[in-house]
Amino acid sequence: MNDSYFIKLAIKQAQKSVDQGGFPAGAVVAKVGKVIAKGLSLGFQINDPTGHAETVAIRKACKRLETSNLNGAVLYASLQPCLMCFSVANWSGISKIVYGCKKSKEMITKHYYEGSTDIHTVNKNNTRKIELVYMADFEKESLDVVQVWEDQRQANPMKVFVGKGKAKEKTDAVKEIKRYYQKSPRK
């Protein structure tokens, strides 16, 4: 199995993430030509700011292999990993990252990424280098998943999608936040 096979799996994970109400990113960790773990980007649903697809896949891979050292493993991501996910890949010993869609200025403007820090520059300055591979042939397919997610958000601006097509009103979430702050003593 080659990089194209695994990047397609990562893009399928991104679609699955959208279907479950998550961000349109998916990831797969493979080693010796076999899938070790898959990840969805459901951080908002599980109240985990580190719940990005890449980090989830790396956690699962470490758990499955009962090690924190994924040397020789490859991380496949539908979108270029953010700086946090790149750092997790680095600390876990991932040898190579393959992604299907580059981070763009438009994505930064839409807050899909926190800033314009480039993982290629960080990688160049790191002691341990990760091979970074952009597979341009999969850019459109990855962006199609992002577009589906954006269309869902546009069609339902007052709803946050949570789990298998169910929706929770944003107003409920806002009410919950207001109740929290009303109960919390202010300094």
Catalytic residues, by residue number, are: 54
Provide φ and ψ at 44, rounded to 5°.
-70, -35
CB within 8 A of 63, min separation 6: which ones? 37
Residue 88: count of CB within 10 angstroms of its CB: 22
Please tell me the distance from the alpha carbon of residue 153 to that of residue 126, in angstroms, as a whole number.
Answer: 37
Please tell me the distance from the alpha carbon of residue 169 to that of residue 108, in angstroms, as a whole number.
Answer: 26
Which of these, 100, 101, 136, 103, lies nearest to 122 by C-alpha position? 103
Please tell me the distance from the alpha carbon of residue 11 to that of residue 8, in angstroms, as a whole number.
Answer: 5
Taking each helix axis from N to C end, the angle separating 139-155 and 3-19, rounded to the nearest 10 degrees, works out to: 0
